[in-house]
Structure 1
Amino acid sequence: MSQTVDRALSILPLLAQGPADLGQVAERLGVHKSTALRLLRTLHEHGLVYRQEDQRYRLGARLFALAQEAVENLDVREIAHSHLVALNDRCGHTVHLAVYEEQEVLYIDKVESR
């Protein structure tokens, strides 16, 4: 794997924990500030990272849009939705559909209780 790509992608989970300044990003990655800045600028150009007025960085809106597209394109949602509705009708409770991937749970559909 490309070291540059690996470092850039390592920034995303770091910022998922909350906004961070350039020094914090560089320290967590174990790189010089100039390297961290180049990575952050590239991620910013692609909308994956946003620089706030206080000079801290946070996840960008495009990242959320990409995540939403990915979730919407999971075929399992389409297949399972009618079953979620039926289960909701039978039990009267909110029903969730989730996937487990790399030790994380991602909720991909929900039918609210009435």
Structure 2
Amino acid sequence: MCPTERNVPESMIGRVSLVLGAFGPNDEDLGISEIARRTGLAKATVSRISRELIDYEFLERRGTSVRLGLRIFEMGSLTRRPKDLRRLALATMADLRQATGHTVHLAVREGREVVYIEILRGRDGVQLPSRVGGRMPAHATGVGKALLAYANSAVVEEILSSPLEQMGPRTFTSASDLRVELESVRTHGVAFEQEESAAGVCCAAGAILRENGEPMAAISVSGPLGVVQLERVGPAVQAATMGLNRLIRNNTQLSRI
């Protein structure tokens, strides 16, 4: 969905963000016209911004198109928080994959969305559409519900105050139903998703909490509906996140991630 002329940001930073954000996971390069279509910006504006981004190596010219440049990847590799979270959770994620055979995700919340920062693909050979750096609406995923269940009430109310986008056949699109679901997640310590993010996909997820109870990330085990045994996977995820939460409570430095 591209922005309309009415909601295109006025600031230069906002417009640069739109241009860089136009690139999807399967886009090696994009033409100026396609970027303009995806962003809602005028072609002349996209052309001017792209020229400057090329000068500073955030984009590279490829014939009549452009692609993401080396500076983007250099800056991404320097981001500390994802590295620290991976270091904290990777062994636990590997144990979960070994125990279940399914794909294990590590995600954080950014606004109304979750961002996947590590994925260990399952030994079951099933390819899920998720990718590192990919985003999904928080309300439509197991990891998102796990994070929202422990989030500040103001954060939850801000998300519930806007329409909840339908992503899969069983996405929660009712604010009242989602409130009940988040209360259940808090009560049971694990979030289950069945065809809420996409048709045929299910998962069990748990939150990784800071010492003060604030959620910092979430882990999920995901796979095809009918193949993943949620009654077995749920307790495994819950035990894994409880172990990480105990580790964090015993080491206050970890709460700073």
Same fold (TM over 0.5): yes
TM-score by length of 2: 0.35
AA of the residue aligned to 1:68: S
Shift of 1:31: 3.0
Match of 2:72 in 1: 63
Partner of 1:98: 107
Q: Distance in 1 between matches of 2:103 and 2:51?
A: 42
**Counterpart amino acid of residue 83 in structure 2:** L
Question: RMSD in angstroms over aligned alpha carbons?
Answer: 3.3
> Which residues in structure 2 correspond to 1:1-114 (within 5 Å)?
3-16=11-24, 18=27, 19-26=29-36, 28-31=39-42, 33=44, 35-53=45-63, 55-70=64-79, 73-101=82-110, 102-110=112-120, 113=123
User: What is the alpha-carbon distance in structure 1 between the residues aligned to residue 13 and residue 109 of structure 2?
Assistant: 25
- Structure 2 CA distance for aligned equivalents of residues 32 and 81 of structure 1: 43
Comparing 80-89 with 90-99, greater Cα deviation is found at 90-99
Higher relative contact order (CA 8 A, sep 6+): 1
Cα deviation, 1:82-101, whole Å, max 9, x if unaligned, reads 21233234334453323343
Measure, in 1, the Cα distance between the counterparts of 2:113 and 2:35.
Answer: 24
SS in 2 for 1:99: strand
| 1:10-35 Cα shifts (integer Å, max 9, x gaps) | 101223373333344456443351x3
Rg bigger for which structure?
Answer: 2
The residue identity in structure 2 corresponding to 1:40 is S
Q: Which moved more, 1:36-45 or 1:83-92?
A: 83-92
When structure 1 is superposed on structure 2, of 76-85 and 13-22 the one drifting more is 13-22
- TM-score, normalised to structure 1, is 0.67
- Asked if structure 2 preserves the Cα contact closer than 8 Å seen for 1:20 and 1:57, the reply is yes
Same amino acid, percent of matched pairs: 24
Q: How far apart, in 2, do the equivalents of 1:20 and 1:106 lie? A: 24
Aligned length: 112
